[in-house]
Every structure is written in structure tokens, then in C-alpha cells.
Amino acid sequence: MPSALLASLHLQQVLVRGESAALIEASLAKTETFMSRVETASDQPRMMEGSDFWFSSDDWRSRYRPYNVVDGVLQIPVKGVLLHDFPWQYGAWATGYEYIWQAFKRGQADGNVRGIALVEDTPGGMVAGCFDLVDRIYATENRKPLRSFAMESAYSAGYALASVADSITVSRTGGVGSIGVVTMHVDVSKALDKMGLKITFIHFGKHKVDGNAYEPLPADVEKRIQARIDELGEVFVASVARNRGMDAQAIRDTEALCFTATEAVSNGLADAIGSLDDAVAAFAADLSLTEEDEQMAGQNGESAVDQAAINAARTEGFNAGKAEGKTEGVKEGATAERVRITAIIGSDEGKKRPKAALSFALKSDMNVEQSQAVLADLAEEKAEAPQAGGRSQFEQAMDGGKNADLGTAGEQPVVSRAKRANAAAGFKVN
């Protein structure tokens, strides 16, 4: 018999990673067993004083509404399937949006909490409740520093939630993405025919039974369902674009792909790669530095504006460091390319086949060893008369290109020295 939770998702739009169907089914089955235990419990719940949500520490149910603060960082687990109308956190199997919101609110009000961490390992979950939660967190005034950690995964609904944080860190073997929406229709009509069964619907309203499983899905009904999916997909795209400060089309163009840690950092869906322990420790250290700055500002009689200036200076320094690193990386790349070109052309194999060597050096990505191996298999070229001025084609090519303007922060288009030489020598440049 199918899980009641799984059955509740039939023809519902969900935000999940497509490859995780088996995991989702197993998680929902485990969660249903847990819910049976909670609903049939005969003992009276013991609550924290002044709370109608948080259990006292001596109540067994408190384990399923965890609230853990370490070094000033509240760690909120976001694991398993993410569910609407589910005020629990059930280990690796399921987490409710309501639990996440209650934990976040408590952390905001807790003087011992300096920052909040969303620790995620989820294939995604329900559409219902997801974007409402994201919007509430986004709109929170005086929000404490919030970081997301994909340890191992933050897919679909999990990524929607992760994106609202100030930054996202992914484990080396983890992944994020799957920015899309999915639903499913199952047609069992042929199976019923084989069993000799026929279902007849008696209904008021032409569209009352649209999408039922006992008839093939008509084209017009499928079109309407697709329109709803597309609309929800645009809600997802807009939410991530706002949260991450990204171009909506760039997010749309991911086509719901799942990305590795390195891919996510490269395309802007994540900010860093690291282990949970190291990343949370760094978060706590950053919070300590911020707290020290605030204390110093208070001791010196500096205003909140002064602290804002400190934060702005930090941001400016960080951005300047990124720009300097980018420029330096371009310089190092150009130097390495010159060394590669010279080594290929100056090798014994290259000297005997100068035209082929020049072509390999400028028009391929082969390293020195690869180029030498290929050149060695080619016939040696006959010597040609020197060109006018006694200068080789390569020398003319290398002297004919302009240096790329890197700008003050390396933001201008960068043209490699190899491409400049290639163009000057008369080769086609893509």
C-alpha cells in the first residue's frame, strides 16, 4: 500500500531533484511511521515555559524540534524531504517549513545567538509553504548573519531556501541547483482494461475530473498543467535572482540542472567550497570579529554610522582583493602561455616542423609534451627562404598584437596573447 504522504503529492507541484525519487519515497515512508508515533502518543507533552511550540528538554519530542547553539551559531538542520504543515525535524528523512521558521524566529530573539546556519542535505520538497518561508526570512528586519551550508546537497526547494542566506558553502562532494518545478500524471487506463475494469465519472463541471489517473491525459489538460508549472517556475527564478543578486535569465538558462561544488561557485549559485566544521568555525570567527568591532565602536563613542563605515570598508577591501586576484591571474596565465608557445616552437620536433609547431602553439590547447608527440609523427618540413627583414612568421605575429587593457580591476575583455599572435599571423580567431 502506498504511503499516505506520497499519495498526497499525486498531481501536486513539487520542488525536488528528479533523480531522487527513490530517496523521497523512502523518506516519506519513514516519516509516516514517525507521525503515527507522535499522533498516538498518550503522554502529555511538556513545553518550555512561555512557549507553545518548543518542548522542554526532558520531553522525548524535543529531539524532533532541535535547537542547537554552538559558539554563538544556531545550526538549523534542513534535511530530507521538505514538507508543508509539518512542524518537525525528523533526522535525515524530513524537515517541516514550520519548524525551520520557528527555529529561525527563536534564533533572532535569542541573545546568545550571533549568527544562524542552515545546514542542508535535501533533495527538495513541496512547493506549498516554500516560497512563503523564503520571503518571510528575506523580509526579516535586523536579520542576524545567515549562512547556508550544503552538506551534502541543497536541491530545488532546498536551494530556494539556501539562496536567501548571505552566502552558500558547498562540501567538495556536494551539489546545488535543480531550480525547477515538476509534477506527474500516471495513466492506469490500459492496466484497468486488462483487468476488465472500467471507471465511469459522473460529475458537474467540464473540468472537474481533469488529470485523473483512470483516463489518458487530454492535450488541452496537459497544456493547462504545463502553464501552472511554468508560472511556478518563474516564481522560483525570481526568488533566486532577488536573493542572489543574479540575472534571471542566467538562472532560467540552467534548465534545472544540478551542479557540483566547483560548477556552482563558477556560475554564481554558491560562494565557497569547504567542510561543515571548517565553514561553521570560520562563520563563528567572523561573528566574533564583528562583535569586537561593535564593542570597540561603543567604547569609543562611535555611532552606528561608524560601524556601517567599517563594514563598508571590509566589503570594499574584499572586492578589491578579488579584483587584484583576477588581474594577477590573467598575468600569470599570459606568462604561462608564452612559456608554452616558446617551448613548442623551440623543441627539436618544432624546429624540424616550424609551420606545424606554430599552428599547434597558437591554435590548440595541447601542452608541450602532447605537441611534441604529435609533431614527432609528422614529416619534417623543408626549409623556406627567410621572410622580408629576416623575421619569422612567429616573430611578426608576436610583435603585431596589442596588449589587452585590463582596466583598474581586470574588468575589460581579456584577449590572450596566443589569440593576438594568432590573429596577427593571419589565422582565424574565434
Give the DSSP H/E element, type plus range, for residue 267. Answer: helix 261-267
3-class DSSP state for residue 121?
strand
The CA distance from 119 to 100, in Å, is 11
The CA distance from 324 to 411, in Å, is 11
CA-CA distances (angstroms) from residue 35 to 4, 5, 40? 11, 10, 8
Q: Looking at 240, 259, 280, which one is the last position of a domain?
A: 280
In the prediction, which pLDDT does 36 show? Answer: 87
Q: Is residue 344 part of a domain?
A: yes
Same domain, 389 and 343: yes
Residue 315, all three cell numbers: 566589503
Q: How far apart are the first and last CA of the chain?
A: 59
Same domain, 404 and 274: no
244-249: list long-range contacts, CB under 8 Å, 24+ apart.
Answer: 244/163, 244/268, 244/269
Same domain, 229 and 355: no
Q: Is residue 385 part of a domain?
A: yes
Q: Is residue 291 part of a domain?
A: no
Q: Is residue 296 part of a domain?
A: no
Q: Looking at 233, 265, 280, which one is the last position of a domain?
A: 280
The CA distance from 179 to 339, in Å, is 42
Same domain, 127 and 16: yes
Same domain, 320 and 255: no
In the prediction, which pLDDT does 324 show? Answer: 58
Give the DSSP H/E element, type plus range, for residue 79. Answer: strand 73-83
Same domain, 331 and 276: no
Q: Is residue 355 part of a domain?
A: yes
Q: DSSP H helical segments within 198-252, as ranges?
A: 219-244, 248-252
Q: DSSP H helical segments within 347-428, as ranges?
A: 348-352, 354-363, 368-376, 393-400, 417-424
Q: Is residue 129 part of a domain?
A: yes
Q: Is residue 211 part of a domain?
A: no
Q: Is residue 145 part of a domain?
A: yes
Same domain, 353 and 406: yes
| Domain ranges, residue 168 | 4-186+218-280
Residue 84 per-residue DSSP state: T
CATH number for position 148: 3.90.226.10
Q: How many CA atoms lie within 13 A of 415 on its CB side?
A: 13
276 CA to centre of own chain: 16
Residue 182 per-residue DSSP state: B
In the prediction, which pLDDT does 404 show? Answer: 42
Whether the Cβ atoms of residue 130 and residue 163 lie closer than 8 Å to each other: no
Our count of domains for the chain comes to 2
pLDDT along the chain (430 residues), means of 10: 60 74 84 87 88 94 96 97 95 96 98 98 95 98 98 97 98 97 92 95 95 94 95 98 98 98 98 96 90 59 56 61 54 67 82 82 78 81 58 50 43 46 47
Q: Which of 99, 42, 116 is nearest to 65 (CA)?
A: 99
Phi-psi domain of 156 (left: phi exceeds 0; alpha: psi -120 through 50; beta: other): left
In the prediction, which pLDDT does 26 show? Answer: 86
Same domain, 273 and 377: no
The CA distance from 12 to 347, in Å, is 65
Same domain, 357 and 276: no
